Amino acid sequence: MNEATYRKMHAVFYIILKQSHVRLELIRCKEIYELLVDSHAHLQWASFNKDLEDVLDRAAREGVENVVNVGFDFDGSRKGIELADKYNELYAAVGFHPHVANQLDDNILDELEKLSENRKVVAIGEIGLDYYRKLSPIEVQWRTFITQLSLAEKLDLPVIVHNREAHADVVKALLKFKGKIRGVMHCFSGSKDMARQCIKMGFYISFAGSVTYPNSRGLREVVQWIGLNRILLETDCPWLAPQDVRGKRNEPAFLVFTARKIAELKKISLEGLASATMANTNELFRMH
């Protein structure tokens, strides 16, 4: 089946389901079409407050079946869980972004652990190091990163890692937990060498809209090199809209632009990519 037919069939199914008020998952039919999963979004962000239902409708029409809303601070983590409780297709990750690393103390760590007990929480994230903006001092970022890696180990949850211009230190931190934690390098921006090191530690590599940007040649080479069994897809919305919609607020429906580019680089069908990345995401996050 070609992509156009696949999209059309999905849209028709979706409209029938909407009209008959039957939930999409009741007649999920993997033999007929394959679906995408947005492994990293921030639909709890204020820019989605007004039209979240429309955003979710557009995602479903484009075949984006599930979305993981990733936390960046305590409130964001809590709101992500509220959305996941409300909408069946949404999941959540909880954690403190390096920008707000100084907000995590022992009391809040306990609260974070309590949040993680919700059945829709599939990961600790996003956590990591950001030496580009350095909104928190490096020592504080490091301490908060290690604390949350330990929490993930204790809870047996995967981690979603943010890394910006901190490649060596991120690898150093992850090596401390080698064999004890699993996870994904979100919005990957590193070299082939960095990808190789992360894969060796059992990590997945997630690609966002930046792979479609004209100046991302190095990143596209990483995509071509990497095994299909290690790739995840994400929007990181509301940021990083793919090239075709660049400048707009990003949303899960736009994942298809990134998926098409990656399928083209891997010389496989969109269905093949969808099926592989869905399996990878489910294996990592144990969503279904």
Site residues, Zn ion (CB under 5 A): 236
- Closest approach, Cβ 18 to Zn ion, in A, equals 29
Q: How far apart are CA 98 and CA 186, in angstroms?
A: 14
Position with the least CB separation from Zn ion: 236
- Closest approach, Cβ 154 to Zn ion, in A, equals 23
**For the chain, what is the HEC assignment?**
CCHHHHHHHHHHHHHHHHHHCCCHHHHCCCCCCCCEEEEEECCCCHHHCCCHHHHHHHHHHCCEEEEEEECCCHHHHHHHHHHHHHCCCEEEEECCCHHHHHHCCHHHHHHHHHHCCCCCEEEEEEEEEECCCCCCCHHHHHHHHHHHHHHHHHHCCCEEEEEECCHHHHHHHHHHCCCCCCEEECCCCCCHHHHHHHHHCCCEEEECHHHHCCCCHHHHHHHHHCCHHHEEECCCCCCCCCHHHCCCCCCHHHHHHHHHHHHHHHCCCHHHHHHHHHHHHHHHHCCC
- Closest approach, Cβ 106 to Zn ion, in A, equals 25
- Closest approach, Cβ 208 to Zn ion, in A, equals 9
Rank residues 63 and 209 by Cβ distance to Zn ion and give the closer one: 209
Rank residues 236 and 251 by Cβ distance to Zn ion and give the closer one: 236
Amino acid at 4: A
Rank residues 263 and 284 by Cβ distance to Zn ion and give the closer one: 284
Rank residues 43 and 253 by Cβ distance to Zn ion and give the closer one: 43
Rank residues 121 and 263 by Cβ distance to Zn ion and give the closer one: 121
Q: How far apart are CA 208 and CA 164, in angstroms?
A: 14
Q: Of 127, 138, 103, 272, whose CA–CA distance to 185 is shortest?
A: 127
- Closest approach, Cβ 228 to Zn ion, in A, equals 23
Rank residues 184 and 253 by Cβ distance to Zn ion and give the closer one: 184
- Closest approach, Cβ 267 to Zn ion, in A, equals 29
- Closest approach, Cβ 42 to Zn ion, in A, equals 6
Rank residues 38 and 236 by Cβ distance to Zn ion and give the closer one: 236
